[in-house]
């Protein structure tokens, strides 16, 4: 905890506690650490509405928190039926906890066992350095700062701690359901143990890969700063020849971050699709990927949002309004709406097809304020939820 939060310790921290063994152990460990440090703690349980036992589990956490003198809140998430359930639940949990924490760090109870299982699953998917670096002790997820103080602790150690202090917890039956990839990974780890492939060794490998990842991130960040050229706000313009001269790993890492930035995407595109799009763009062709476009023009490679992705997106120009995840009004404009520039995009130093995806203000469908220009007053502020470019290259 000292490594994660010091030397300037925060006034308060938040804990995500499900009621399972790992998180209940974390609750008591954190309470014992924070009290003499004078750090306030708040506790939350996310009820995903997927199991009837969830309400009772949240009540157990609330009762245990009350016994420790800590405030508790149950956060409710409802699935809209769209997409993969597990992925949607994970994203929904992060969003709820981020809004509840209000900028404070949130402790997650991931253990060395979870780290090893994550590494094995990502290895099966053919992940590269980033995936095999596992879960970071401290990371940022779209406004949520996640702290994982138990990555060096084993699940068995925490169970012993719970048994010794007679701390109650619940076992989710899905933890033994072989229908889930993580449960099968757990069984595979047991089978691989005789080969010396222990949880501790896998976790140590993740640590070494994380060190390599940080070095690659620093290299990509340095290259991006050298290759960036002035451009209209909302677009990126890079030295095309300079990109082509980079080693493949740095080039792909740099452009993955650029695509994430312009599309406000939480994750980088898949490696194969990214490599294909980059090869096409450097060969002089336009490529569309990840809700963004790569457009070569003479000595430059321009990167911006794909116009089709925002063609029907319209938001009332009210205070606090956000458009496409990364644009926020500096001041409200009553009666106007934020929408894509579209076919009204004027010829510019940038490719018109990219300018078409920039935001403008419209009243009754007519443009009353075009997008901010490179030299004009910026009345819309660009705030990417996943980090600005090139800072995004080292942020997650």
Domain-by-domain residue ranges, the chain?
A: 2-205, 229-306, 310-382
Residue 23 labelled as part of a binding site? yes
How confident is the model over 281-304, as a mean pLDDT? Answer: 96
- Return d(Cα 393, Cα 105) in angstroms, integer: 21
Closest CA to 4 of 146, 202, 215: 146
For residue 168, what pLDDT is reported?
97
For residue 20, what pLDDT is reported?
95
CA distances from 34 to 65, 208, 307 (A): 14, 30, 49
- Return d(Cα 52, Cα 60) in angstroms, integer: 14
- Return d(Cα 114, Cα 93) in angstroms, integer: 18
For residue 125, what pLDDT is reported?
86
Taken in order 238, 239, 243, 246, the sign of the CA dihedral is negative
Residue 21 labelled as part of a binding site? yes
Residue 19 labelled as part of a binding site? yes
pLDDT in tens, 372-381: 764 445 567 7
Helices 155-165 and 21-37 pack at an angle, to 10 degrees, of 70
Residue 38 labelled as part of a binding site? no
Beta strands 12-16 and 106-107, pairing class: parallel
The CATH code that applies to domain 2-205 is 3.40.50.620
For residue 375, what pLDDT is reported?
46
Residue 130 labelled as part of a binding site? no
pLDDT in tens, 313-343: 999 999 888 899 888 888 888 999 999 999 9
CA distances from 61 to 22, 151, 201 (A): 12, 22, 33
Residue 131 labelled as part of a binding site? no
């Amino acid at each position: 905890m000292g490594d994660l939060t010091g030397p300037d310790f925060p006034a308060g921290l938040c804990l995500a506690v499900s009621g399972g063994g790992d998180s209940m152990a974390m609750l008591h460990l954190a309470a014992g650490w924070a009290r003499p440090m004078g750090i306030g703690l708040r506790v939350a349980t996310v009820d995903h509405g997927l199991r009837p036992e969830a309400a009772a589990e949240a009540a157990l956490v609330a009762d245990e928190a009350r016994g420790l003198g800590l405030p508790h809140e149950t956060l409710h998430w409802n699935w809209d039926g769209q997409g993969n359930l597990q992925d949607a639940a994970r994203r929904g949990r992060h969003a709820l906890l981020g809004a509840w924490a209000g900028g404070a760090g949130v402790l997650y109870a991931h253990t060395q066992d979870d780290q090893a299982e994550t590494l094995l699953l990502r290895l099966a998917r053919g992940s590269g350095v980033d995936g095999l670096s596992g879960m970071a002790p401290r990371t940022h997820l779209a406004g949520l700062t996640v702290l994982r103080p138990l990555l060096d602790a084993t699940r068995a150690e925490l169970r012993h701690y719970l048994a010794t202090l007679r701390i109650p917890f619940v076992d989710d039956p899905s933890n033994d359901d072989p229908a889930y990839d993580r449960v099968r990974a757990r069984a595979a780890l047991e089978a691989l143990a005789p080969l010396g492939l222990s949880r501790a060794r896998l976790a140590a490998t993740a640590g070494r890969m994380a060190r390599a990842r940080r070095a690659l991130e620093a290299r990509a960040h340095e290259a991006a700063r050298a290759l960036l050229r002035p451009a209209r706000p909302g677009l990126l313009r890079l030295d095309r020849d300079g990109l082509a001269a980079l080693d493949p790993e740095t080039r792909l890492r740099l452009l993955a971050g650029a695509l994430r930035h312009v599309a406000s995407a939480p994750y980088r595109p898949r490696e194969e699709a990214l490599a294909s799009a980059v090869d096409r763009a450097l060969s002089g062709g336009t490529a569309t990927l990840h809700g963004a476009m790569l457009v070569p023009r003479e000595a430059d490679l321009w990167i911006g949002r794909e116009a089709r992705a925002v063609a029907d997106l319209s938001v009332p120009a009210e205070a606090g309004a956000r458009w496409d995840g990364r644009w926020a009004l500096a001041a409200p404009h009553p009666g106007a709406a934020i929408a894509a520039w579209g076919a009204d995009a004027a010829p510019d130093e940038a490719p018109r097809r990219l300018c078409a995806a920039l935001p403008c203000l419209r009243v009754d469908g007519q443009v009353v304020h075009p997008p901010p220009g490179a030299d004009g007053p910026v009345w819309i502020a660009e705030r990417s939820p996943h980090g600005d470019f090139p800072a995004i290259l080292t942020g997650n």
